[in-house]
A and B are shown apart, each in its own frame.
Chain A
Amino acid sequence: MTNDWLFIGIFLLLAPVFPALALVIPRLIAPRKPNPLKSQTYECGIETVGDTWVQFRVQYYIFALVFLIFDVETVFLFPWAVAFGQLPLFAVMEGVLFILILVAGLMYAWRKGVLEWF
């Protein structure tokens, strides 16, 4: 059990090392002759107009909110699914009721037009 997490922890530390190595090697052997024209951002051939870091459209936040609700829901459902063997029918129906409440939420969002992309 502890070994499992130790494995993940060491993997977490070592996994970035491999791609990082692949970035260090070009630094040593690749040519580096930057000039202002070369490091311009790639757009239509003319220079960029205005700031790039603009605000996200509000639509994305609405989808993010709906996502948040469902993701939190599924985090609650995972223990329910793991313990499924020990659960009596009553507890299973309780889980189903929990899902149905969220279905009602999805329906509400749908009718309110939250899920439309315009």
Chain B
Amino acid sequence: MGDPVTLIAQWLNGLLSGWGLAPGLVTLILIVIGVVVLATIALVIDIFMVWLERKFVARFQDRIGPNRLGPFGLVQPLADVIKLLIKEDITPFGADKIVYNIAPIMALATVLLLWAVLPFSATTYGTNLNVGVLYIVAVGAISTLGIIMAGWSSNNKYALIGAFRTVAQMVSYEVPMVIALLVPVILARSMGLKDIVDEQVIWFIVAAPIAAILVFVTNIAELGRAPFDLVEAESEIVAGFHIEYTGMKFGLFYAGELLHALTIGGIFSALFLGGWRGPGAETYPILGIFWFFLKMFFMYWVIAWVKYTFPRIRIDQMLNFNWKFLTPLALVVLVVTAILDKVLPHEPLWVYSLGMLAANLVIAWVTLQILRSRARKERQRVAEPGPIARPPEANPSTTQASTTPQV
């Protein structure tokens, strides 16, 4: 059984060549068709992500969620889109109009660009870029720029504070993310996402669990979702960077965030969960697409789970967590992986993977011990009263000196 996507591509190729078009032009047309189809699929999924997200929130909060329009409320997102389209678009007084209008376009377009390198199956993928991982990091940085542009151009102080926090957060969390991304690159010896999936006979989450957790956490931070959503903290800065956006412009930010969450799930499953690998995916590549989307939506569910479980953290906690915990841990994992890769035998793959896993477990145990001892010290420091916190009765001289009764 052939792969339908390849078959369609071959059929189109034959059809266009049959019309007497030059081979270069045929390739160009095929690429344009591929891009349009890929982006359309992403956007259609995105519309239904709104429904999925609302259902997830509802379930996590013990509610039912949208269930009125259509079966299971599936038509609800379409109604939402129509509402957003016919809503009045308000540009705030004094806003930088060009930047203000480009920002939401950038927020969604950069997420779409990430779909170019996702390997959906062994034969179906946009492109197997040989610098794929670097491309993901670079495009992710542009989406940060979109948020900064939105916050800066809105002429609103809440939005500006949101943009400030974005700078601090995105810039910081990129460091451990890039370092942790080096680990799967070392294991696969390639930066192409398809090559990385091809190397994963045993999923990389076995050989590099700590790097997987680091990539997951830093990506949530890069996404700006809870518990790292101080970019748009409702209780402090109302809505942060998108406070002045209405109608479809706000919709684009919202859609961009949802699609980004799903795309991060896809990138994570390609890097650590074996991408399209699953029962029967080698013989029938079309099954690979099913497995890939299953893993992608599972990771998206985990991201939603994290979002609706943890409270928001403070900005100083956010920076401390990054620079004093994630970055050193990522560096240690990278060095240990690099050295062990040369020391461990590569031939029986399970020996290599288990060796890596054992090393990761040792690192995790040592890290937990260090954290535990620090927490113990911190608890002692808080428990014993300091000079300011001491009540006046504890010092006899002050109690005698105070003659007037205390209220």
- A residues at B contact (CB < 8 Å): 1, 3-8, 10-12, 14-16, 18-20, 22-23, 25-27, 29-34, 36, 38-43, 48, 52-54, 56-57, 60, 63-64, 66-67, 70-71, 74-75, 77-78, 81-85, 89, 92-93, 95-96, 99-100, 102-103, 106, 110, 115-117
Contacts and interface: CB of A to CB of B under 8 A. Distances in A.
Given A6-B31, A16-B105, A60-B167, A81 B160 contact: no
A102 B238 CA distance: 39
Interface residues of B, number: 87
Contacts of A106: 323, 327-328, 331
Max chain B C-beta neighbours (<10 A), residue from A12, A27, A41: A41
A26 B105 contact: no
A54 B27 contact: no
A30 B157 contact: no
- Identify the interface centre among B154, B191, B331: most chain A CB within 10 Å of its CB: B331
Interface string B329-344: 0010011001101100
B243 interface: yes
B164 interface: yes
Contacts of A64: 167, 171
B30 to A, nearest CB: 10
A64 B24 CA distance: 44
B364 interface: no
A83 B338 CA distance: 12
Interface string B157-200: 11010001001100110110011001001100111000000000
A15 B395 CA distance: 71
Q: Is the interface of B mostly helix, strand, loop or mixed?
A: helix
B86 A29 contact: yes
Given A3-B127, A15-B113, A34-B90, A77 B182 contact: yes
A18 B39 contact: yes
Contacts of A4: 127-130
B126 A11 contact: yes
A82 B109 contact: no
A84 B186 contact: yes
Contact of A30 (B36, B89, B160): B89
A63 B168 contact: yes
A4 to B, nearest CB: 5
Contacts of A11: 35, 38-39, 112-113, 116, 126
B334 A26 contact: no
Nearest to B113: A15
Given A4-B127, A52-B160, A82-B185, A41 B327 contact: no
Contact of B93 (A8, A22, A36, A103): A36
Contacts of B109: 15-16, 18-19
Given A14-B35, A71-B178, A31 B113 contact: no
B35 A43 contact: no
Contacts of A56: 164, 167
A60 B164 contact: yes
B28 A71 contact: no
Given A16-B109, A19-B109, A95-B338, A70 B327 contact: yes
Contacts of B116: 7-8, 11
B85 to A, nearest CB: 5
A10 B88 contact: no
A84 B341 contact: yes
Given A63-B172, A67-B175, A54 B160 contact: yes
Given A7-B34, A26-B89, A56-B164, A43 B113 contact: no
Given A25-B85, A52-B94, A96-B335, 4 more contacts: A11-B39, A11-B126, A74-B182, A92-B339
Contacts of B353: none
Contacts of A83: 189
21 contacts: A6-B28, A6-B31, A7-B126, A8-B113, A10-B32, A14-B36, A19-B105, A19-B252, A22-B252, A23-B104, A27-B89, A42-B244, A43-B156, A52-B94, A56-B167, A81-B185, A96-B339, A110-B323, A110-B324, A117-B315, A117-B316
B298 to A, nearest CB: 26
Contacts of B131: 78
The 5 closest A-B pairs by CB, nearest first: A117-B316, A15-B109, A19-B108, A81-B185, A74-B178
